[in-house]
Amino acid sequence: MAKKHLNSIKLAYSKSNYFKDFFPYIENLLSKKYENLSVLNIKCVEMILDYLGVKKEIVISSTLNIEKTKTERLIEIVKRLNGDTYLSGDGGHSYLDEEIFEKNQIKLIYLNYKPVRYNQLWGDFIENLSVIDLIFNEGRENTLRILNYDKTL
């Protein structure tokens, strides 16, 4: 299955400006076997962060042994990681209990991401396609700029 995915990626992006730069990362990732999809997803995130030069620790919430659910779970995760802010997607408005964040003095920020147009190989621009599409077409520095990544955070 990994070989099929690699061939699909190669077919789609071999003519992109940053194919030779980024494809070896994907090739290395997919050359290994993973016990389940969750582990592969984590390794994908780590690979992308590594390529982009983003040095951030990834903490899997299940390793924190938190018994709470819903908003209380999120509050506990932020506290355990010594945080003071929780970033939520815009959809969080419909299910997060904002009062619980306030009571716990945790700042709640809703991200309202607006896709930025960038160069794509084929046809009309497709927004929110994938981070690998962005990287293959724009490379490391432009991807960081487009994602508005601040290395000081």
Q: Where are the domains of the chain?
A: 2-57+114-146, 61-111
What are 48-67's pLDDT values in tens digits? 999 999 998 899 999 999 99
Answer for the pair 67, 44: CB distance below 8 angstroms, yes or no. no
H or E stretch covering 89: strand 85-89
Which residues are registered as beta bridge partners of 108? 86
User: For the residues 10-33, what does the mean pLDDT come to?
Assistant: 96
**What pLDDT digit, counting tens, does each position of 111-136 carry?**
887 889 999 998 899 998 999 999 99
Task: Give yes or no for residue 1 having a pLDDT over 80.
Answer: no
141 band by pLDDT with thresholds 50, 70 and 90: very high
Within 10 angstroms of residue 31's Cβ, the number of other Cβ atoms is: 10
Q: Which helix (H) or strand (E) holds 9?
A: helix 2-13
pLDDT of residue 137: 97
pTM as predicted: 0.84
**How far apart are the C-alpha atoms of 106 and 86, rounded to whole Å?**
7
pLDDT of res. 2? 81
Cβ-based burial of 17 (10 A; exposed 0-12, middle 13-18, buried ≥19): middle
150: confidence class by pLDDT, cuts 50, 70, 90: low
Measuring CA to CA, which residue among 121, 127, 123, 132 is closest to residue 27? 132
Whether 142 shows a pLDDT value over 70: the answer reads: yes
| Segment 31-47 mean pLDDT | 95
